[in-house]
Structure 1
Amino acid sequence: MSIVKFPSSCNEIEIFKFCSDVHSYAGVNELVIDFSSMGRIEPFSMIYVAKQIRDFNKNNQETTILCRGHKNKEYAANMAFFRAFGLKHGREPNCKDGNEQFVPFTILRMQTIVDEASKEWKAAQDIIERRSEHLAKILSREEHGNLVDALTFSIREIMRNVLEHSKSRSIEYCAQFWPTYSKVEIAIIDNGIGLKQSLLTNPFIQVQCDSDAIQQALMPAISSKNYKGVRIDRNDPWHNSGFGLYMISRICRLGGNFLICSGDHGILLNDHGKQHIDLGHHIKGTAVRMVLNTSKLTGLSQMLAKFRDEGYDIAKEIKDVGMYTASAASQMLSRDFIRRVQED
């Protein structure tokens, strides 16, 4: 019998190490996951770990997975974490919305969005906009304001990316708002093709590894569907400009942070700059964590206008190179941090 212990911290490095430890036991007859040391757990940790355990179970059907030390973990059970990876304990995913400024583990089928759009004669992105605003209001317990606007925009853009690029059949998410700490965390994950495979459809982008792909995706105006020669209906308010992840990361870096993982790599962006993370395992699809400092959110339109203008300047310089390269993306992103720090 092999045992792997869940960490006491939900720090992303500890979570990635735990997932790598789980995968290292591929092929064993019996694996016990010990949750007795679990302390405070946050949304990203839940959706990321649940997916990794499910994927391990799918790829190692000869291995029996047992759990212990989980029965007194009420918050995780209430967020539907355990049920999300197959353990019969706590609430089921897709349970009713939280009533204490949280959104429990939810699995949303892409086909559900498409069906709703077809029924209402709307674009699928309109349905995503509506769902995003609904989630924003649940988290903030407000009907309007800067926080609702910022949350709606951020959730919408990530969900749009899943719909438009990932080829995933579903999207999984959960979220929590801690008013006392002026902190809100939204975690979203898909089961799609991942950033690398998506960006390879753009002939002007050089992507050789997952690190390259993530860096490219974070740059303004870089997209698998927006490049020279491709037909774009610029009258369509939902046409893909490649600015979504860039704009969200800028919002999150206002005292919060932005983490994105795909393949075998992750990048964390915050006030201190950029941190590359070797996951030590592979994730199918893309996982995103958005942490916003609610005390630093001002009018969304003014923030986005500033970020957009700076993004245009960066995009022009990158496009002048002719072929987008990861090294250029890395340098421009680092300079973007430096520029903002100097302005502050």
Structure 2
Amino acid sequence: MIVVKEMKYENMLKMTNHLRLKGYYLNDDEDLKITFEHLEFIEPAGAIVFLNAMDKIKESKTQYEIEPINHLRQSRSAISYGETMGIFQLIGISDATSHTSGSTYLAPTKVGIREVYRELDENGIPLGLYFEQISGRIVNKALGLVEYNIEEKINDLFIFVVREMVRNIFDHAQTPHYYYALQAYKTTNYVEVVIADVGVGLRATVPFSEEEIWHEQNTDEEAIKKALIPGLSAFSNHSYAPEEYKNSGFGLALVKSIIQRTGGIFSIASGTKSITYGSAEKVVQDCDVKGTIVRMKIGLDKLGNVNFDEVLKEAEIEAIGEGFKQAPSNASKTVKSKYI
């Protein structure tokens, strides 16, 4: 039985690894059962990992049961909180009224890729404008939650960070849908944004050499590390993307560098590994994630001190040092989009 007590990011990654080690209960004497009877805490980042796990469980055809939560509402405030955010509705065990946002969060939101393209086509909206609209919506909500007024250039930099992560999903993930959520920490002026897909994962899209494949170095951990090397282009799933958005492998590297300069945390989980980069340390954790989950904790007070041109120049120098001569895409070189 899976007992979900604290729906935190790290805890939920551990849960996914437990599921992997148990073979998703496919060969077990007992079916998979999940209970929230002892649930005490929920954070949006943890909820996103949990929703990702549920997508994988359903895909694996695992027989599972989620214990009802109706009788827990009065005794467990976390249950009511989860219903308010719509988490339990997304997994089909509640039909209570939910709210897309609260005083400290933007609830986990599921976005269907086909629906996005259909709406864009019906309204004649270019894909690049969608990237700006969704990232602007997330950023504006984040700043509103912390009641933080910032200069336009800092606002644009924040939007750039979110935009690059959304763009990656459409470029590479081959996913039917994606999730996003955020948490605001008002006392410290930090904002945590989580964006996740349920696609093929980094190992399937990051290029490995024949030698690396021969020596079985094409692992999930190495794929994450490679994805953060500036200039190492991943295979694009959208050759018809607008020219300014054609990938050149700089997006993740630039975002990671920007976040670290704010004293924040940048984490990527894909396949069986998660790597979290702080300002001075790196933590590797076992997991089992479908697609890719990106968690970004950004220090707003220090974001204004980040010189984007300096970050870009350092990335270009690193790319040359790694032997990559391709220049960053126009979108990756531009903080403020032409669509604004």
Normalised by the length of structure 2, the TM-score is: 0.79
Give how far 1:40 is off: 3.3
Among candidates 190, 211, 228, match of residue 183 of structure 1: 190
| Aligned equivalents of 1:320, 1:130: Cα separation in 2 | 32
**Which residue number corresponds to residue 91 of structure 2?**
85
> Does residue 25 of structure 2 align to residue 26 of structure 1?
yes
Residue type of the partner of 1:155? V
**Structure 2 unaligned regions, length at least 5:** 326-340
Q: Which deviates the most, 235-244 or 125-134? A: 235-244
Alignment partners' CA distance in 2, 1:110 and 1:9: 26
Residue 316 in structure 1 maps to residue 320 in structure 2: yes
Q: Which moved more, 1:205-214 or 1:150-159?
A: 205-214
Give the aligned residue type for 1:312. Answer: E
Secondary structure at the counterpart of residue 171 of structure 1: strand
Contact 2:205 2:235 in 1 (8 A): no
The residue type equivalent to 1:124 in the other structure is L
Q: Give the aligned partner of residue 75 of structure 1.
A: 81
Aligned residues: 307
3-state SS of 1:237 partner: helix
Note if 1:138 corresponds to 2:138.
Answer: no
Q: Distance in 2 between matches of 1:152 and 1:320?
A: 27
Q: Distance in 1 between matches of 2:226 and 2:181?
A: 26
How far apart in 1 are the matches of 2:324 and 2:6? 48
Identical columns (%): 23
**Local SS of the residue matching 1:267:** strand
- Counterparts of 1:305 and 1:90, CA distance in 2: 48
2:132 to 129, 152, 155: 129
Task: Establish whether residue 196 from structure 1 lines up as the match of residue 241 from structure 2.
Answer: no
1:212 aligns with one of 222, 236, 245: 222
Cα contact 2:264–2:278 (8 A) shared by 1: yes
- Mean CA deviation greater in 110-119 or 133-142: 110-119
SS at match of 1:240: coil
Judged with a 3 Å threshold, the aligned counterparts in structure 2 of structure 1 residues 37 and 306 are, in CA distance, closer, same or farther, namely farther
Tell me the amino acid that sits aligned with residue 181 of structure 1. Answer: T
Indicate the residue corresponding to 2:275 in structure 1: 267
Q: Distance in 2 between matches of 1:217 and 1:62?
A: 35
Report the 3-state secondary structure (helix = DSSP H, G, I; strand = E; otherwise coil) of the residue aligned with 1:265: strand
Distance 1:140 1:32 in 2: 39
Q: 2:103 aligns with which of 100, 103, 119?
A: 100
User: Deviation of residue 38 (structure 1)?
Assistant: 3.2
Find the residue that maps to 1:181 and give its secondary structure.
coil
Matched residues in 1 for 2:41 and 2:136: separation? 27
2:254 counterpart residue number: 247
Gap change, CA 1:90 and 1:50, over 3 Å in 2: farther
| Counterpart in the other structure of 2:330 | none
Q: TM-score, normalised by structure 1?
A: 0.78
- Does the CA contact (< 8 Å) of 1:7 and 1:15 recur in 2? no
- Cα distance in structure 1, aligned partners of 2:324 and 2:111: 40
Separation (CA, whole Å) in 1 of partners of 2:228 and 2:72: 37
Contact residue 116 and residue 127 of structure 1 kept, 8 A: no
Q: Is the 8 A contact 1:170 1:190 kept in 2?
A: yes
Report the Cα offset of residue 113 of structure 1: 2.7
Q: Given residue 119 of structure 2, which amino acid in structure 1 is its aligned partner?
A: E
**Alignment of 1:292 onto 2:293:** no
Contact 1:51 1:85 in 2 (8 A): no
Paired position in structure 2 for 1:258: 266
Aligned residue in 2 for 1:331: none
CA RMSD of aligned residues (A): 3.1
- Does the 8 Å contact 1:5/1:18 carry over to 2? no
**CA distance in structure 2 between the aligned counterparts of 1:85 and 1:11, rounded to whole angstroms:** 18
1:328 equivalent in structure 2 = none
AA aligned to 1:294 is L
Q: In structure 1, what is the Cα distance between the partners aligned to 2:168 and 2:209? A: 15
For 1:151 and 1:84, the matched residues in 2 are separated by 28
Are the counterparts in 1 of residues 266 and 296 from structure 2 also a CA contact under 8 Å?
yes
1:4·1:21 contact (CA, 8 Å) conserved in 2? no
Quote how far apart the aligned CAs of 1:185 are: 0.9
1:55 to 1:91, Cα distance in 2 relative to 1, 3 A = farther
What do the CA deviations read for 1:144-171 (whole angstroms, capped 9, x no partner)? 6366334321221111000011111211
Offset at residue 124 of structure 1 (A)? 0.9
Separation in 1, partners of 2:68, 2:55: 13
Taking CA–CA contacts closer than 8 Å with sequence separation of 6 or more, which of the two structures ends up with the larger relative contact order? 2
Deviates more, 1:129-138 or 1:197-206: 197-206
